[in-house]
């Protein structure tokens, strides 16, 4: 498990990351969301050790992370691109060797991964000759070399077509199945909701929400929707509730007093027909908007 | 405010768990990716061709014989024949054919139609050599010498004496305390080549190094590398790789130059040049490493290739100072400059070439240059490490020096 504890980074007078804490559990995909400039990239760069920290620490398997630990991590920086004018196999072998693999083993593994991504034929091509999608695939291969202990990916899905997104997702799932923690940042909320086990929301350098998707949706004040047979106007005068929306026979209420919803349903059935009474869980995008507002 | 910590560069370890140290991997990539690059190979080959061509041309120019036709009217035939006969003794590269002409008008026509290269005829106070529009250098020298000898001999016998008696004790010969005139000329020419090669290599490889630093910074591959190895190793590998490349290229040029010279009329100087050439290579390596680190810094301060122009300006100025300083300094200022790095990298080898350098002088100069290189490596490493991971616009030297990592 990867733990980020009260990580802080200042650039001059501005605090880019302010005491941010969260966890990336083993075998889970953790999505990292937030507006541009929220501090996602800075946090990831600190986790990878390419940027110094002003406070806080990063723990790996319960102890402070070391350089050797980081060498086993797969990392994909935000603006990607390897060496444009070098054959892809050569630069992938180079990256694998920098991460401590032997030359022969590196070549074998790179060859395997290239095959897997359908790039086996193009091993000797220069990177710049490949299409953007294929370049991205090469970048992905670079980040999973050698079999990483953890994956830190900055916007891995940006610029990918739907098919490439699917193969990327498959690859990530492969890793989480093996118990590898994956942290990735994204601003595509639908994707994050579909993929992630957990979610961390950052706004202005602070962590504003964290947890599993259902925890986040269940957190906050419970809301209910009530659809009646007749006019719902009377709900406004009901104690312990705040009416968020009222339209004809339908009311959306937020519970301000524990148990107020029970009194509401009792009152409603006493007054007439109740067509619907449901707990409303906010969509991730709503949570995100509220958290980052 | 606490000092940022936890960066790759200050975690003490060698950055290598594999068989090969990281800096060596980087060095190899630099060398391999460059040496397989077509433009590099073509550039090197072109330079070799130019060197061989230049040496060949000079040698040919030196050995070829001038064949000229000298025209003479009946009143000058005797003198012209004497000139033609005496020519090989005066200059063995001039061969003169005599063409007898009827009169002055025929001579002018022959000159105009290039049947003869020059026309020798007597005038009131001596002789005149007329050519169409350009001076016939070697012919003029020969004619001057022979006519003078002939006329002197006639005048001497008219006065009842001999040329030898008249000339006794009048000759002035030249002598040098060190070497001779031709040796000094060769030293000058080779010295120019040394300065030029250093300037060219430092500029071309320096620019290349700086832009490869920008390339890595721009594509953020440097972050992948920084997460895997200390940046110190990246810098060391890049500097060593480029130094190795520059050295290989230089060795090729020097070898081609020396071999070429040994087939030229100057072959007797080749053994004498080997020593200075060896010193030059030593100074080249130390000077190149010092400058390469600075080029890497220039690259790391830029964010885009377009910025390089600005961030490398002080360096290009320094390169020009080395170039012109190396070429123009002489006397006392040359002696002083030969100890001041980085100019000493070219000035000391030049002094060694012209001779008269005490044995300890190159050693001291090389030592000082090595110290200078060590300092630029140290400063360069700090600046490079701090500027490299800063994104968004140019980084000033002051920012880079004091930046948190």
Q: What is the DSSP string of A207-230?
A: EEEEEEHHHHHHSSS-EEEEEESS
Q: Which of A54, A73, A83 sits opposite B221 (nearest CB)?
A: A83
pLDDT, residue B177, reads 56
When pLDDT is averaged across residues A259-271 and rounded to a whole number, the result is: 88
Average pLDDT, chain B: 82
pLDDT, residue A5, reads 93
- The three-point CA angle A139-A144-A145 to 5° equals 95
pLDDT, residue A85, reads 84
Please report which confidence band the pLDDT of residue B391 belongs to, taking 50, 70 and 90 as the band edges.
Answer: low
Q: Is the pLDDT of residue A170 over 80?
A: yes
CB contact under 8 A, B5 and A53: yes
Q: Is the pLDDT of residue A138 over 50?
A: yes
A-chain CB neighbours of B219 within 8 Å are 79-84
Q: Is the pLDDT of residue A80 over 70?
A: no
CB contact under 8 A, B15 and A67: yes
Q: Which of B18, B37, B227 sits opposite A70 (nearest CB)?
A: B227
Average pLDDT, chain A: 88
pLDDT, residue A145, reads 83
Give the whole-angstrom CA distance, residue B41 versus residue B48: 11
Q: Which of B8, B32, B228 sits opposite A99 (nearest CB)?
A: B228
B-chain CB neighbours of A53 within 8 Å are 4-6
pLDDT, residue A24, reads 93
pLDDT, residue B6, reads 42
Q: Note the Cα A82 to chain centre separation in Å.
A: 24
Enumerate residues 6+ apart whose C-beta is below 8 A from B327: B192, B195
Please report which confidence band the pLDDT of residue B178 belongs to, taking 50, 70 and 90 as the band edges.
Answer: low
Q: In chain A, which residue's Cα lies nearest the Cα of B399?
A: A12
What order do you get walking across the sheet with B94-100 strand by strand? B94-100, B66-72, B118-123, B126-131
Which ranges of chain A would DSSP assign to H, the alpha helix? 40-47, 67-71, 88-98, 103-116, 132-143, 162-177, 189-195, 213-218, 260-271, 284-292
Check residues B188 and A65 and name the one with the higher pLDDT.
Answer: A65
Give the whole-angstrom CA distance, residue A84 versus residue A67: 28
A 10 A CB-CB count for A271 gives 14
When pLDDT is averaged across residues B249-262 and rounded to a whole number, the result is: 87
Give the whole-angstrom CA distance, residue B62 versus residue B59: 5
Closest residue by Cα to residue B281 from B205, B362, B356: B362
Q: Is the pLDDT of residue B9 over 50?
A: no
Q: Is the pLDDT of residue A278 over 80?
A: yes
pLDDT, residue B8, reads 40
Q: Is the pLDDT of residue A93 over 90?
A: yes
B353 sits in which H/E element? helix B344-354
Q: What is the tens place of the pLDDT at every residue in A179-235?
A: 999 999 988 888 888 888 898 988 888 998 888 888 888 877 888 999 998 888 888
Q: Is the pLDDT of residue B171 over 80?
A: no
Q: Is the pLDDT of residue B238 over 50?
A: yes
Query: In this structure, are residues A250 and A232 in contact, taking their beta carbons and an 8 Å threshold?
Result: yes
Q: In chain B, which residue's Cα lies nearest the Cα of A67?
A: B8
Q: What is the tens place of the pLDDT at every residue in B23-65?
A: 999 999 999 988 888 888 998 899 889 888 888 887 777 677 7
Please report which confidence band the pLDDT of residue B81 belongs to, taking 50, 70 and 90 as the band edges.
Answer: confident
Q: Is the pLDDT of residue B330 over 90?
A: no
A242 sits in which H/E element? strand A241-247
pLDDT, residue B320, reads 92
Give the whole-angstrom CA distance, residue A65 versus residue A74: 14
CA distance A127 to chain B (A): 12
Give the whole-angstrom CA distance, residue A19 versus residue A259: 36
Strands A223-228 and A206-212: unpaired
Query: pTM for this one?
Result: 0.75
CA distance B354 to chain A (A): 45
Query: What is the DSSP secondary structure assignment for residue A129, as one 8-state letter?
Result: G
pLDDT, residue A26, reads 93
Q: Cis ω on the peptide bond leading into residue B342 (within 30° of 0)?
A: yes
Please report which confidence band the pLDDT of residue B19 belongs to, taking 50, 70 and 90 as the band edges.
Answer: low
When pLDDT is averaged across residues B259-282 and rounded to a whole number, the result is: 83
When pLDDT is averaged across residues A227-245 and rounded to a whole number, the result is: 87
Q: What is the DSSP string of B250-285?
A: HHHHHHHHHHHHHTSTTGGGHHHHHHHHHHHHHHHH
CB contact under 8 A, A67 and B8: yes
Please report which confidence band the pLDDT of residue B14 belongs to, taking 50, 70 and 90 as the band edges.
Answer: very low
Enumerate residues 6+ apart whose C-beta is below 8 A from A19: A6, A7, A8, A55, A56, A206
CB contact under 8 A, B221 and A81: yes
B-chain CB neighbours of A98 within 8 Å are 22, 25, 225, 228-229
Strand partners, A23: A3
pLDDT, residue B2, reads 43
CA end-to-end distance (rounded Å), chain B: 14
B1, B6, B17: best to mutate for the A interface, most A CBs within 10 A: B6
pLDDT, residue B101, reads 84
In total, the C-beta contacts within 8 angstroms joining chain A to chain B are 113
Q: What percent of chain A has pLDDT over 90?
A: 30
When pLDDT is averaged across residues A249-259 and rounded to a whole number, the result is: 88
SS3 B111: helix
């Amino acid at each position: 498990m990867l733990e980020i504890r009260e990580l802080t980074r200042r650039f001059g007078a501005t605090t880019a990351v302010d005491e941010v804490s969260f966890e990336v559990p083993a075998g889970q995909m953790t999505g990292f969301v937030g507006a541009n400039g929220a501090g996602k990239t800075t946090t990831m760069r600190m986790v990878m050790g390419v940027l110094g920290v002003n406070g806080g620490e990063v723990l790996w398997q319960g102890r402070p992370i070391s350089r050797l630990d980081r060498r086993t991590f797969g990392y994909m920086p935000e603006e990607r691109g390897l060496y444009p004018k070098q054959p892809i196999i050569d630069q992938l072998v180079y990256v694998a060797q920098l991460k401590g693999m032997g030359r022969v083993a590196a070549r074998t593994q790179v060859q395997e991964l290239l095959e897997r991504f359908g790039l086996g034929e193009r091993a000797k091509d220069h990177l710049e000759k490949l299409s953007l999608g294929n370049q991205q695939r090469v970048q992905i291969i670079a980040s999973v070399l050698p079999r990483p202990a953890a994956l830190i990916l900055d916007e891995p899905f940006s610029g990918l077509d739907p098919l490439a997104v699917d193969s990327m997702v498959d690859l990530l799932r492969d890793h989480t199945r093996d118990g590898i923690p994956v942290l990735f940042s994204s601003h595509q909320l639908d994707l994050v909701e579909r993929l992630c086990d957990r979610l961390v929301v950052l706004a202005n350098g602070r962590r504003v929400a964290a947890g599993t998707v259902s925890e986040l949706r269940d957190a906050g004040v419970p809301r209910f929707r009530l659809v009646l047979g007749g006019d719902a106007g009377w709900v406004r005068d009901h104690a312990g509730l705040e009416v968020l929306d009222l339209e004809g026979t339908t009311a959306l209420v937020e519970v301000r007093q524990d148990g107020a919803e029970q009194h509401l349903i009792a009152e409603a059935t006493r007054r007439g027909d109740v067509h619907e009474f449901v707990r409303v869980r906010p969509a991730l995008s709503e949570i995100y908007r509220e958290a980052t507002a | 405010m606490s000092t940022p910590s936890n960066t790759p560069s200050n975690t003490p370890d060698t950055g290598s768990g594999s068989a090969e140290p990281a800096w060596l991997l980087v060095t190899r990539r630099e060398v391999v990716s460059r040496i397989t690059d077509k433009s590099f190979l073509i550039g090197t080959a072109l330079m070799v061709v130019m060197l061989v061509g230049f040496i060949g041309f000079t040698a040919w120019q030196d050995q070829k014989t001038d064949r000229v036709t000298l025209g003479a009217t009946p009143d000058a035939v005797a003198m012209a024949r004497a000139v033609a006969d005496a020519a090989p003794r005066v200059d063995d590269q001039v061969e003169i054919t005599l063409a007898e002409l009827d009169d002055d008008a025929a001579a002018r026509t022959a000159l105009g139609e290039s049947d003869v290269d020059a026309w020798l005829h007597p005038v009131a106070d001596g002789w005149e050599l007329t050519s169409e529009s350009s001076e016939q250098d070697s012919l003029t020298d020969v004619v001057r010498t022979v006519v003078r000898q002939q006329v002197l001999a006639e005048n001497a016998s008219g006065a009842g004496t001999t040329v030898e008696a008249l000339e006794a004790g009048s000759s002035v010969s030249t002598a040098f305390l060190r070497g001779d005139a031709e040796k000094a000329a060769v030293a000058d020419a080779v010295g120019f080549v040394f300065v030029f090669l250093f300037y060219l290599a430092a500029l071309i490889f320096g620019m290349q190094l700086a832009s490869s630093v920008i390339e890595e910074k721009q594509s953020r591959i440097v972050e992948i590398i920084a997460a895997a190895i200390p940046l110190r190793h990246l810098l060391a590998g890049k500097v060593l790789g480029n130094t190795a490349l520059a050295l290989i290229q230089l060795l090729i040029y020097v070898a081609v130059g020396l071999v070429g010279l040994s087939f030229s009329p100057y072959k007797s100087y080749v053994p004498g040049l080997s020593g200075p050439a060896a010193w030059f290579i030593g100074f080249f390596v130390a000077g190149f490493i010092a400058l390469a680190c600075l080029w890497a810094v220039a690259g790391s301060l830029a964010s885009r290739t377009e910025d390089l122009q600005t961030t490398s300006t002080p360096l290009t100025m320094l390169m020009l100072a080395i170039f012109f300083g190396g070429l123009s300094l002489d006397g006392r200022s040359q002696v002083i400059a030969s100890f001041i790095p980085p100019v000493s990298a070219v000035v000391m080898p030049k002094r060694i070439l012209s001779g008269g350098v005490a044995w300890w002088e190159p050693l001291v100069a090389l030592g000082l240059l090595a110290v200078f290189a060590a300092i630029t490596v140290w400063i360069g490493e700090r600046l490079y490490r701090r500027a490299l991971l800063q994104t968004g616009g140019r980084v000033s030297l002051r920012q880079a020096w004091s930046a948190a990592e």
